[in-house]
Structure 1
Amino acid sequence: MDSSEHSSCTTILVGKNASYDGSTLIARNEDAGVAVNPKKFVVMHPADQPRNYHAKGSQFAIQLPDNPQRYTAVPEAVDQNGVWGEAGINGNNVAMSATETITTNSRVLGADPLTKSGVGEEDLLTVTLPYINSAREGVQRVAQILKEHGTYESNGIIFSDVNEIWYMETAGGHHWVAQRIPDNAYVIAPNQTGIQEVDFNDPDNFMFPADLRDFVKTNHLNPANDFNFRKIFGSDSQLDHHYNTPRAWYGQRYFNPESVQGKSPMSNNLPFICHADRKITIEDIKFVLSSHYQDTPYDPFAPGVDYEKTPYRPIGFNRNQELSIMQLRPYVAKSSAAIQWLAFAANPYNILVPFFTNIDETPAAYGNTTGLLDSHNAYWLNRLISLIATDHYHSLMDQVEAYQEKEMGYGHQRVAEIDKLAAKTSQAGLIKVLTDENDKTADTVMKDTQKLLTKLVAQASNRVRGSFTRAHY
């Protein structure tokens, strides 16, 4: 699959002192170029990890180390176009989300062209996550791959561990910068180069290739006196103003209404590093990543609005494929600290399900997705719900929202129950217990979701065009 098919994601990062419980939180919608692009949730074991990796959608190939860790991933259900592992947590509780596709301006691309044999979104999780023991090591591994192989696209790549979050942005074929997200901050990244001022004397918070400043100076790339990565390497196009920037504007409006007061959704000076005036929850992240400009003139679902004429691309829409929020908790044992909250299909209608990642296998309803529609599969079940609810938004959303509130409560309940069980379980038996408990969580959620689908089908069927009742006479 061409990389443009996966070029519309939205990322939210929340430092440990900005989150509601002291966890690091990294989240990203994976959006495709089409509405239906089936995904599955899997555990990759060391024996299944390739040693000679060859991409299917590009010319990239690499020899991989012999010591991979177990890790979770959310790859394509049909792998004819490659893996596209997207989001996961490894056995050492390091999380990775890859990638937030971004743009690089023509001056940079002329000085450092993209390379067809380089690494890309299809590959990055597979060739990185099994081999790193910290978020910082994630940046270092990708940096080495970029140095040796380059890349054929510009990307934002996210790493976290229980202490740190790092956001890495590539520019051109071989250049990049990574910034440690401050513990008390949050970030919203919408397919644009985001990192701003780079402090070259602060290795605790910035990483970059050794030649970065010389490269910029030699090629006359800096239009200003300071070193602003976004202004030097990024773009500021009409597409950005309508497709990308408004998503950051709406997210910042949600967390800090005063910060965007008077600013246009097309503003080109929204900050990268932001600070909320309250702690950020899982529900907050889900709301923003499901949003479509509610309570603004730009909501495509507002009464009387022609959705085809709305000026800005929503965050939550039909091309969402999966959302992973990776939560690394500091207040429980490391062996049960990592949770991947997962949602499939369009985010305005789905719910997050908490899956502990120290497991042998994922629940069948989430792991056995195929290219054929199956209402017993989580991806397809949620895709059906989104199809029906979108076309009957105002008559069905009360049912959807009641379901969402109930299931989020259930998710938090399950985390608390499993934490208590894990605390009483020996390390030798913990993986099996967490695997079994994930199955129980998934079973309940699937039953509730199938009940929701039944209600929506019944109600929507009474409202289809051409319906007729004897009450007309």
Structure 2
Amino acid sequence: MCTSLMAGKKATCDGTILLSRNEDYTRNNWNKYMIFRPFPEYYNKQDDNAAVSDNVWTLGNGLKVPVPQKMYRYNAMPDAAGYEEATYAIGRRFFFEERGINERNVAISATNSLTINDNASGADPLLASGGIAESVIPTLLLPQVESAKEAVKLLGRYVEKYGASEVNGILIGDPDESWYFEIGSCHHWIAVKIPEDSYLVVANGMRVHSVDLDNEDVLHSKKLFKFVCEHKLLEAPDRHNFNFAEAFGIPGDPYNVDRIWLAQKILTPSLKQKSRECQYPLFLKPDKKIHVRDVMNVLRATYKGTELEGIAERPIGVDRTAESHIMVLDPKMPQELKGLIWQVVSTPMGAPYIPLYSVMDDIPHGFSLEGNQYSPLSAYWSFRGLYSLCEVNHDEYRFLVEKLWRDYEEQSFREYEPIRETLMKIYASDPAAAIDFAKRYSTGIAYQTVGIANKERDLLMTKITSDTQ
């Protein structure tokens, strides 16, 4: 149910790599919380880790893999009740961590849920449970990878060896390059490198098509082309113009292609495309360099003012988004400060993107509270609660809240470059001080933003209860 946007460093206005996604859910109140993992789930302190036995790591959905040799710190954005959401769960483990950047500056956002066609499903049926699934992908990869390409290859090996129980799209990047990975069936997958001057948009349908399987920027499962030919998943398969999405997915569903059309219309308006085509270009160059603000606009986009207004059922921006993130990987920054996450807690339709450096390890209490029951102490409920109050008078109050957060984000944009320059200057003489500054800035701005939300919620509640109309 998600929508994602990736951009190469020559497609952005500041030379950064962008990975972004709206994590949508089936209902409006699905609490998310932030966490910093100093140790992975398989860290076996004093041999009391139930997840590890005989050098085998059992993840929360039952997947068993050898314990990795490396242990990198990372941040994540888990579901408050992820173990309840999982199709198959063996207890309270690390579940649905969704997005994160590790200490090697590898970023992963997982996943975009996809759909497999009947022919592919019959040829290579998905596992009934366990295996590679959204619930464990960030948990599995982030603690042990040093580059985006390593993450792609490792995930591919896991899919081929253990199988998948879902078909998914995964965003993977580092400060040098980014890749989009699609799982097409139980054991088959493909990954494409994002061109430096282009962007990619993903909804909930498979996207990879028109690629050369022999190109170094395309990685895939062993004997993929042979498998497609043997099972007649394509009428005329061509390994140099390969359509993975048609072989394994269901192209042309308006639920998905409408969003692709909309995002490409926003970022490349010079390209006049008909709506509801079966497939749209995999990669496109933007008409102008992409700013983080442009990504936010895409992730909040609706069909208002377009030919699909009143026709398309599924916009990009929806109220039931649980969280939204834009991960920025900056090759020009010092090693520890290359990762920044613009994070929304709840839906971006009614909450702000907050800039947080990936080294942030002091998470404010309100941002780390679990549970889906309303709590006045929860940051999630501060933002969601304020937005929900707007429904009392949608036209008036929603406009006020939207303006509040747009103004806040514009202020953050104005501060971004001076803060970045300050960090680089401090780092040149005292790296530890610069890292500490980035941590305290991130923690402080998180506190500040939830304070604004609570203040505005109280003011709006007062206005609503005093309104005599």
Task: Give the TM-score normalised by structure 2.
Answer: 0.89
Matches within 5 A, 1:370-449: 370-390=371-391, 392-419=393-420, 420-421=422-423, 423-425=425-427, 426-449=430-453
2:454 to 447, 450, 454: 450
Residue 315 of structure 2 corresponds to: 314
**Contact 2:267/2:286 (<8 A) preserved:** yes
Q: Deviation per CA, 1:359-393, whole angstroms, max 9, x where unpaired?
A: 33323332234333223422111111222224533
Residue 63 of structure 2 corresponds to: 60
Distance apart, 1:427 and its partner CA: 2.6
In the alignment, the residues of structure 1 paired with residue 178 and residue 392 of structure 2 have an alpha-carbon distance, to the nearest angstrom, of 39
Distance apart, 1:253 and its partner CA: 1.3
**Contact 2:387/2:401 (<8 A) preserved:** no
Residue 46 of structure 2 corresponds to: none
- The verdict on how the C-alpha distance between 1:331 and 1:273 changes in structure 2, with shifts beyond 3 A counting, is same
Matches within 5 A, 1:276-355: 276-296=286-306, 298-299=308-309, 311-355=312-356
2:230 to 204, 218, 230: 218
Counterpart amino acid of residue 36 in structure 2 = V
User: Once structures 1 and 2 are overlaid, which stretch shifts more, 441-450 or 453-462?
Assistant: 453-462
In the alignment, the residues of structure 2 paired with residue 283 and residue 460 of structure 1 have an alpha-carbon distance, to the nearest angstrom, of 32
Distance apart, 1:421 and its partner CA: 4.0
**Contact 2:333/2:424 (<8 A) preserved:** no
**Contact 2:69/2:144 (<8 A) preserved:** no
Counterpart amino acid of residue 413 in structure 2 = H
1:230 to 241, 245, 248: 245
Q: Does 2:6 align with 1:13?
A: yes
Unaligned runs of at least 5 residues, structure 1: 1-7, 301-309
Distance apart, 1:460 and its partner CA: 4.2
User: Once structures 1 and 2 are overlaid, which stretch shifts more, 42-51 or 169-178?
Assistant: 42-51
Q: Give the SS at the match of 1:257.
A: coil
Distance apart, 1:244 and its partner CA: 1.5
Matches within 5 A, 1:161-310: 161-203=174-216, 205-226=217-238, 227-236=242-251, 240-241=253-254, 243-261=255-273, 263-264=274-275, 266-296=276-306, 298-299=308-309
User: Once structures 1 and 2 are overlaid, which stretch shifts more, 38-47 or 187-196?
Assistant: 38-47
Distance apart, 1:119 and its partner CA: 1.3
Distance apart, 1:292 and its partner CA: 2.1
Q: Deviation per CA, 1:6-59, whole angstroms, max 9, x where unpaired?
A: xx0100001100011000000011111221111111111126555634444x44
Q: Deviation per CA, 1:438-470, whole angstroms, max 9, x where unpaired?
A: 12111221222222223433444466xxxx56x
Q: Give the SS at the match of 1:374.
A: coil
In the alignment, the residues of structure 2 paired with residue 186 and residue 120 of structure 1 have an alpha-carbon distance, to the nearest angstrom, of 25
User: Once structures 1 and 2 are overlaid, which stretch shifts more, 207-216 or 443-452?
Assistant: 443-452
User: Once structures 1 and 2 are overlaid, which stretch shifts more, 426-435 or 106-115?
Assistant: 426-435
2:113 to 95, 98, 101: 101
**Contact 2:423/2:434 (<8 A) preserved:** no
Q: Give the SS at the match of 1:77.
A: coil
2:24 to 22, 31, 52: 31
Residue 307 of structure 1 corresponds to: none
1:112 to 118, 124, 135: 124
Distance apart, 1:96 and its partner CA: 0.6
User: Once structures 1 and 2 are overlaid, which stretch shifts more, 330-339 or 281-290?
Assistant: 330-339
**Contact 2:40/2:73 (<8 A) preserved:** no
Q: Deviation per CA, 1:125-155, whole angstroms, max 9, x where unpaired?
A: 0001111111101101101111111100100
1:75 to 75, 78, 86: 78
Percent identity of the aligned residues? Answer: 28
- The verdict on how the C-alpha distance between 1:105 and 1:11 changes in structure 2, with shifts beyond 3 A counting, is same
Counterpart amino acid of residue 423 in structure 1 = K
Q: Give the SS at the match of 1:405.
A: helix
Task: Give the TM-score normalised by structure 1.
Answer: 0.88
Counterpart amino acid of residue 141 in structure 1 = L
Residue 303 of structure 1 corresponds to: none
1:133 to 142, 146, 170: 146
Q: Deviation per CA, 1:319-344, whole angstroms, max 9, x where unpaired?
A: 10111111011222122121011001
In the alignment, the residues of structure 1 paired with residue 450 and residue 465 of structure 2 have an alpha-carbon distance, to the nearest angstrom, of 22
Counterpart amino acid of residue 66 in structure 2 = Q
**Contact 1:44/1:70 (<8 A) preserved:** yes
How many residues align structurally?
Answer: 442
- The verdict on how the C-alpha distance between 1:421 and 1:201 changes in structure 2, with shifts beyond 3 A counting, is closer
In the alignment, the residues of structure 1 paired with residue 302 and residue 377 of structure 2 have an alpha-carbon distance, to the nearest angstrom, of 28
Distance apart, 1:79 and its partner CA: 4.2
Q: Give the SS at the match of 1:137.
A: helix
